[in-house]
Chains A and B, each alone.
Chain A
């Protein structure tokens, strides 16, 4: 028998000690201090007074301008989710059903490239693409689809296009595994019973893929409302979303209490939706082979 230097039940805690210390100090503390600051009083000029007031929260939730920021954020989230769903579902379906592992591998690699590219590179690329004299406008003009260049930059439309590009992989990767879990014989059985491809999709595939669709949609929505750099760079001054608002409070106006409160609101929404997404994925239990 080997001599026990360390009692076996202590081993996991030894392994966890570094990360626990790290997170306690550099993750939990910042969030805790953010929560605390959200109740501070802010004076013009950057002064902060420790307090326990709800002023910051009420200010955000009752003012029409601020509610407009919230509204913009939600609308942006919905648009990006819709685009990702429309483009992502067919892609997820074809990747799930392709018999060639090489094609799937290639598809997944292409999907992962936007994720692993720096956001500044992508934003810069969109600045070129969406410019009035950029390739997209030139193409549209050449094809005769428009008669003058579309203003896409520094407008919400451009932000939707740019955000959907990087979030599309998340949608695909949420839906694809669920589709893969659906027994291909189910579609064949449906067809053998007289249902054409569209009927089969509506009656069999779509219902069984809903957990993936729900999880993917929530994920994309959450990531959209959390996004900062892309809305800022591609959307410019016209894009008033919560993350940019928080930044302005923190480093523009130096109203840290207010910024903290809005951050906490955003965080609560994000955490709530993430929890919901986890539950959506649990619904996968129904699908799959009998």
Chain B
């Protein structure tokens, strides 16, 4: 049974439509990430689920019951805010016990459950501290404990890791995911960080300007982006505009706008003359120096290295091809080599790793 159902949710603020026709079902124990740039409506959607915003249309059902007309304090939800929103005038213990007190849980049971919750987030010893005495990471854990101790049907996270430094963020991602798995609560996690979404979620909802662009597993989102927006938003991508120039049997030839002639990946039949874009991920490109040999079945472009960005485990190369195209290539740093700027190179890729997308009406250039 779906713990949470959103159907046709629509929310505007004045003239701006923040969320259009949002549909989503979240099953028990499922971790769903809402991913998108600022202003895409993900936080608004979360707040509609929580009850802080009333939708103009559509409904919210929690555990089968309609919750659209219920105020937040009558919905069975737990929420963790970006700013943690811990009560500054209460100790950690009182903060976590707050929800239980509101539910009139008897004191003995209350104490037990709070202790368990604090153990879950590894903060048992700090129950008599005040929020201002805790570090950011600790405050975040208290916020999580407070939200889960009431055993809600739905758990909501509003960019909870944004205020943490990079290392802590990685750690917390793993911990939160483990915690959520062990508690088996339906969870919605709002973030603008695609790494976070891809690494944590069972399903990702990519949003843009209030609409759902794509819903799918992280693999589906990454490998089979359903729209130009998803393609551009998730990971990096090289995009070459051009036209189909010829079709030879199963394969076709793509004439890039810059002039290069490239082999098309196998796919649905396309007519010569169809304009569109060819997209390849930087990690699928091979950087070949003069003495290396191009593997068979690959497209190839010659060019010069313009910028090298060394990131430790990976190296980013910006290549200017002879045809005029600009390409981004990722090379794993494990190989120990670094091609210098100005060196003449070839960029090659297996034809089937690229994606051709015909230009739809009204899409314009990629």
Chain A directly contacts chain B within the complex, with at least one CB pair under 8 Å: yes
Contact (Cβ within 8 A) A199 B102 = yes
1/0 per position for B34-72, CB-CB distance to A under 8 A?
Answer: 000000000000000011100000000000000000011
Contact (Cβ within 8 A) B86 A290 = yes
Task: Tell me which residues across on chain A come within 8 A of B102, comparing CB atoms.
Answer: 193-195, 199
- Closest chain A residue to B149, Cβ basis: A193
Q: Which of B73-81, B192-200, B294-302, B334-342 binds A?
A: B73-81
Q: Which of B85, B88, B98 contacts A287 (CB 8 A)?
A: B88
Task: Tell me which residues across on chain B come within 8 A of A183, comparing CB atoms.
Answer: 83, 85
Contact (Cβ within 8 A) B81 A190 = no
Contact (Cβ within 8 A) A188 B103 = no
Task: Tell me which residues across on chain B come within 8 A of A287, comparing CB atoms.
Answer: 88-89
Does B150 touch A at the CB level, under 8 Å?
yes
Q: Given A190-B98, A192-B77, A199-B102, answer yes or no on A290-B85 (Cβ-Cβ < 8 Å).
A: yes
Task: Tell me which residues across on chain B come within 8 A of A288, comparing CB atoms.
Answer: 88
Does B355 touch A at the CB level, under 8 Å?
no
Does A204 touch B at the CB level, under 8 Å?
yes
Task: Tell me which residues across on chain B come within 8 A of A188, comparing CB atoms.
Answer: 50, 52, 72, 79, 81, 85
Does A15 touch B at the CB level, under 8 Å?
no
Q: How far apart are B88's CB and chain A's nearest CB, in angstroms?
A: 6
1/0 per position for B124-152, CB-CB distance to A under 8 A?
Answer: 00000001100000010000001100100
Candidate in A204, A287, A290 with the most chain B CB atoms within 10 angstroms: A290
Task: Tell me which residues across on chain A come within 8 A of B52, comparing CB atoms.
Answer: 188, 191
Q: How far apart are B215's CB and chain A's nearest CB, in angstroms?
A: 25
In the docked arrangement, what's the CA distance between A207 and B86, Å?
Answer: 14
1/0 per position for B249-261, CB-CB distance to A under 8 A?
Answer: 0000000000000
Contact (Cβ within 8 A) A185 B88 = no
Q: Which of A192, A193, A199, A286 contacts B89 (CB 8 A)?
A: A286
Q: How far apart are B279's CB and chain A's nearest CB, in angstroms?
A: 40
Does B225 touch A at the CB level, under 8 Å?
no
Does B87 touch A at the CB level, under 8 Å?
yes
Contact (Cβ within 8 A) A196 B139 = no
In the docked arrangement, what's the CA distance between A225 and B160, Å?
Answer: 50
1/0 per position for A160-186, CB-CB distance to B under 8 A?
Answer: 000000000000000000000001011
In the docked arrangement, what's the CA distance between A108 and B113, Å?
Answer: 47
Does B84 touch A at the CB level, under 8 Å?
yes
Contact (Cβ within 8 A) B71 A196 = yes
Interface residues on chain B, number (Cβ under 8 Å): 29
Does A17 touch B at the CB level, under 8 Å?
no
Does A242 touch B at the CB level, under 8 Å?
no
Q: How far apart are A198's CB and chain B's nearest CB, in angstroms?
A: 10
- Closest chain A residue to B99, Cβ basis: A193
Contact (Cβ within 8 A) B88 A286 = yes
Q: Which of B73, B86, B103 contacts A191 (CB 8 A)?
A: B73
Contact (Cβ within 8 A) B83 A192 = no
Q: How far apart are A205's CB and chain B's nearest CB, in angstroms?
A: 10
Contact (Cβ within 8 A) B89 A290 = no
- Closest chain A residue to B75, Cβ basis: A192
Contact (Cβ within 8 A) A290 B73 = no
Task: Tell me which residues across on chain A come within 8 A of B89, comparing CB atoms.
Answer: 207-208, 286-287
- Closest chain B residue to A189, Cβ basis: B85
Q: Which of B98, B132, B150 contacts A290 (CB 8 A)?
A: B132
Q: Given A188-B79, A289-B83, answer yes or no on A194-B99 (Cβ-Cβ < 8 Å).
A: yes
Q: How far apart are B117's CB and chain A's nearest CB, in angstroms?
A: 13
Task: Tell me which residues across on chain B come within 8 A of A196, comparing CB atoms.
Answer: 71, 73
Q: Given A287-B88, A288-B88, answer yes or no on A193-B81 (Cβ-Cβ < 8 Å).
A: no
- Closest chain B residue to A289, Cβ basis: B83
Q: Which of A185, A192, A208, A289 contacts B73 (CB 8 A)?
A: A192
In the docked arrangement, what's the CA distance between A16 and B294, Å?
Answer: 81
Q: How far apart are B50's CB and chain A's nearest CB, in angstroms?
A: 6
Candidate in B86, B87, B139 with the most chain A CB atoms within 10 angstroms: B87
Q: Which of B75, B79, B87 contacts A186 (CB 8 A)?
A: B87
Q: How far apart are B57's CB and chain A's nearest CB, in angstroms?
A: 22
Candidate in B51, B79, B85 with the most chain A CB atoms within 10 angstroms: B85
Q: How far apart are B51's CB and chain A's nearest CB, in angstroms?
A: 8
In the docked arrangement, what's the CA distance between A195 and B77, Å?
Answer: 12
Task: Tell me which residues across on chain A come within 8 A of B85, comparing CB atoms.
Answer: 183, 185-186, 188-189, 289-290
Q: How far apart are B150's CB and chain A's nearest CB, in angstroms?
A: 6
In the docked arrangement, what's the CA distance between A185 and B89, Å?
Answer: 15
Q: How far apart are B104's CB and chain A's nearest CB, in angstroms?
A: 9
Task: Tell me which residues across on chain A come within 8 A of B50, comparing CB atoms.
Answer: 188, 192
Task: Tell me which residues across on chain B come within 8 A of A208, comparing CB atoms.
Answer: 88-89
B residues adjacent to A (C-beta < 8 A): 50-52, 71-75, 77-79, 81, 83-89, 98-99, 102-103, 131-132, 139, 146-147, 150
What are 25 contact pairs spanning A and B, CB under 8 A? A183-B83, A185-B85, A186-B87, A188-B85, A189-B81, A189-B85, A189-B146, A191-B73, A192-B50, A192-B72, A192-B73, A192-B77, A193-B73, A193-B98, A193-B102, A193-B150, A194-B99, A194-B150, A199-B102, A208-B88, A287-B88, A289-B88, A290-B84, A290-B86, A290-B131
Q: Which 8 A-B pairs have the closest CB atoms?
A: A193-B99, A194-B102, A185-B85, A189-B85, A191-B72, A290-B86, A290-B131, A192-B79
A residues adjacent to B (C-beta < 8 A): 183, 185-186, 188-196, 199-200, 203-204, 207-208, 286-290
Query: Contacts A185-B83, A188-B81, A289-B85 given; 10 further ones with Cβ under 8 A?
Result: A185-B85, A189-B86, A189-B87, A191-B73, A192-B147, A193-B146, A194-B103, A195-B98, A195-B102, A289-B88
